[in-house]
Amino acid sequence: MEEVLSAARAVDWSRLGERVLCDACLGRLFGKMGHGHTNEARGGAVRAALGLPEGPCWVCGTLTSRYDALADLVVRAMEPWAPDSFLIGSKIDPELAAREESLWSDLSVGSPEPLKAEVNREVGKRVEARGPWTAEFLRPNLVAVVDPAFDHVDVQVNPLYLRGRYRKLVRGVPQTRWPCTRCRGKGCARCGGTGKMYATSVEEVIAAEVMRETGGSGHALHGMGREDVDARMLGRGRPFIVEIKEPRARHVDLPSAVRRINASGIAEVDGLEPASGEDVVAIKEDRAAKRYRILVRTSPPVEEAKLKRTLPVLVAQPIAQRTPERVVHRRADTTRHRRLLAADVARIDGDLAEIHVTAEAGTYVKEWVHGDGGRTVPSLAERLGVVCEVLELDVLDVLDG
């Protein structure tokens, strides 16, 4: 405290004029000194040492005396969400902020603390003492923003994130909910009033079982890439994170949720574990290669020896792929350059050939097979000199390490 008193004695208090400060606002002028003491304690010591007057506070009015009442407001606003952690924010009247800044300038103090910082800390301490939660600055479950001028609290509930790997066991199911292209999700004759192009999705199968326990206002699935609607996702599965928005409960019986997901017959996961928003960014930015199984019909049939000679040639060459005809209506018409990393023949049966291909992320594998009317060069069809039709496509592995 001696550091605070020494700094206070160096201030020309005559510049304060008729302005009177409460202990907290007085102590906050030296808020970055005298660690281990509250601003109220600092201010009380300064007032006693220098004989400064008491009275209604020119800076905050009565705000610093209302921390307990504000904490009670926050607790009532937080309780329905049952958070494990929280963070306090505040909206300070611009007039109060301007007053304290002018005071800092008039008194030439060098280590003040803003009123906003004190409100956040002091209300936060009281909230933490009132409930089964802890203050958390990096990844809080919930942020409560206090507006002292109106005794109002806005609650911002952060999403719940869970990560895992999914396998899609059937064809004809998209990765995420696909709104009807005619009604844009409102419901119409085309979609039978569902608002969707497909009855369900991997996202809905997984999220439904988590939502059952957490509630929430909505959900999203973030995958490391995506497979086509008519492709299966097999092997170890595709890494994903499911996001539950505004969950009412954050504790999930994960093994039970996994069992229910796996009983769907549509998708299955090996397990679920907690994740964060930062993990979503990482999973979206990952550029993992994929290994595919492709069942191709060739017309006319191709000899196995010729196919085996052709694949290594294609692996060695870069591929130029103009945005495919099937997706150009919803994606920019550009040309991408990709490479195959490996390709081999699994079996040939007449005009059917099963091949396994490993390709860089972002490769349009179907188009590499049939050429897409010359939009993909080179293609398997072009090099073989035959028509190639993709009958089945499966993702066998996502090579993310």
Give this prediction's pTM.
Answer: 0.86
Indicate whether 248 and 293 sit together in one domain: no
Contacts of 305 (CB under 8 A, 6+ apart): none
Q: What mean pLDDT is predicted for residues 280-284?
A: 93
Q: Which of 157, 174, 208 is the last residue of a domain?
A: 157
Indicate whether 9 and 130 sit together in one domain: yes
Structural domain range at position 96 = 2-157
* pLDDT at 401 exceeding the cut of 80: no
Indicate whether 71 and 147 sit together in one domain: yes
- Cα 301 from Cα 125, distance rounded (Å): 76
Specify whether the CB–CB gap between 22 and 60 falls below 8 A: yes
Q: What mean pLDDT is predicted for residues 286-299?
A: 96
Indicate whether 259 and 145 sit together in one domain: no
pLDDT in tens, 213-272: 999 999 999 999 999 999 999 999 999 999 999 999 999 999 999 999 999 999 999 999
Q: Which of 285, 316, 344 is the last residue of a domain?
A: 285
* pLDDT at 329 exceeding the cut of 90: no
Q: CA dist 289 to 285, 364, 373, 399, Å?
A: 13, 12, 25, 5
Q: CA dist 44 to 66, 107, 119, Å?
A: 18, 18, 18
Is-catalytic flag, 228? yes
* pLDDT at 85 exceeding the cut of 80: yes
Query: How many domains does the chain fold into?
Result: 3
Contacts of 222 (CB under 8 A, 6+ apart): 240, 241, 242, 243, 280, 283, 284
Indicate whether 92 and 199 sit together in one domain: no
User: Which residue out of 68, 106, 228, 372 is catalytically annotated?
Assistant: 228
Indicate whether 388 and 267 sit together in one domain: no
Query: What's the CATH code of the domain at 187?
Result: 3.30.70.2510
Indicate whether 273 and 389 sit together in one domain: no
pLDDT in tens, 294-316: 999 999 999 999 999 999 999 98
